[in-house]
Amino acid sequence: MTGTAAADPTEVICLGESMVTFMPSRPGRLADVPSFARTIGGAESNVACALAAAGHRVKWVSRVGADGFGDHLIEAVGAYGVDTSAVGRDPDRPTGIYFRTATDRSTDAHEVAYYRAGSAASAMSPMTLPYAELTGARVLHLSGITAALSADCLALMLELTERREGRPLVSFDVNHRPGLWRDASGPEVLLELARGADLVFVGEDEAADAWGLNGGAAIREALPEPGVVVVKHGARGATAYTGPAPETAGGLAPGRAEGPTDGARGAVFAPAPRVDVVAPVGAGDAFAAGFLSGTLRELPLRDRLRHGHLMAAAALTVPGDLGTPPSTAHADRLAELDDAAWERLRLGPGWTSAVDEEVRTS
């Protein structure tokens, strides 16, 4: 299932590089790991796969090499039900790959070895991906990683985040990766791109690191333009900030501010459920997919945040970046729990195939 019928229009376009990922067979330094398992990884394709697995019509737009790794990426992403027909093949540039250790990305022991310089995806530009081909959906999802790949990629990102009439809702995950930027311009560029978006996802820790901003209110103050700014507080939860905004792009409403608020421009906080973490990777992309799913369904902000947490929990309870999401009906039942029941949730491996009563604990 790799295509989308013309009569069944695309809901979300996700644009960005995906790479073949080599996962270690055991913990340890890259120098000591004897073998690796092949999988896929890419912030935007992760979002596309999670949304498609949840039943949405999604297209992934990128470029890969005319090589076996490119074949694998297209087949693997397409297997989730994602439309890959807009993925270009570059005969002169390779598909990017990377190796990583099994440790938490936030620790000093974590190692990543990227082989993506000069990759096919780094040649994405306004010339190779015309604007008109990227706006035929309700949502266009981007991340800051793409802007760091090359000057051409940055030009494309600046064009796609330019405010103009009739554009889709532009979703932007900051994804600050200092190691990808060739100079110190990264934080300033990311701030400019975020200000051009309609919906922004940013971690409280990365906003402090990139912009020196501490706390959700300060982040929202620095980003007054987007209709919604979602600040992620790690295992504690997430806050969605809304406020007065011009006519929302894509015909999607910012969201009804239902749930606990702190009075800061309609801020809604939703705590994250407790999760028995198997691997701390892929949660941010999964959270974005869950929130976008709720946005497409025009759910209240609290429920959008809860769906983000549930999708993140699906990723956290499997070894790789992508987990199998719960059914929509299952996720809706959990998202509609009262506050006390929600706070009693504890989600572990296999929870997405369990019924409500099997995942509630005291």
Which of 90, 173, 198, 285 is an active site residue? 285
Token code pair at residue 217: 């209110």
Residue found by looking up tokens 């729990």 in the block:
337
Closest to 277 (Cα-Cα) out of 20, 158, 102 = 102
SS3 for the chain is CCCCCCCCCCCEEEECCCEEEEEECCCCCCCCCCCEEEEEECHHHHHHHHHHHCCCCEEEECEEECCHHHHHHHHHHHCCCCECCCCEEECCCCCCEEEECCCCCCCCCCCEEEECCCCCHHHCCCCCCCHHHHCCCCEEEEEHHHHCCCHHHHHHHHHHCCCCCCCCEEEEECCCCHHHCCCCCHHHHHHHHHHCCCEEEEEHHHHHHHHCCCCHHHHHHHCCCCCEEEEECHHHEEEEEECCCCCCHHHCCCCCCCCCECCCCCCEEEECCEECCCCCCCHHHHHHHHHHHHHHCCCCHHHHHHHHHHHHHHHHCCCCCCCCCCCHHHHHHHHCCCHHHHHHEEECCCHHHCCHHHHECC
92 is catalytic: no
**Residues 189, 183: contact at Cβ < 8 Å?**
no
Other C-beta atoms lying within 10 Å of the C-beta of residue 34: 8
Active site residues: 285
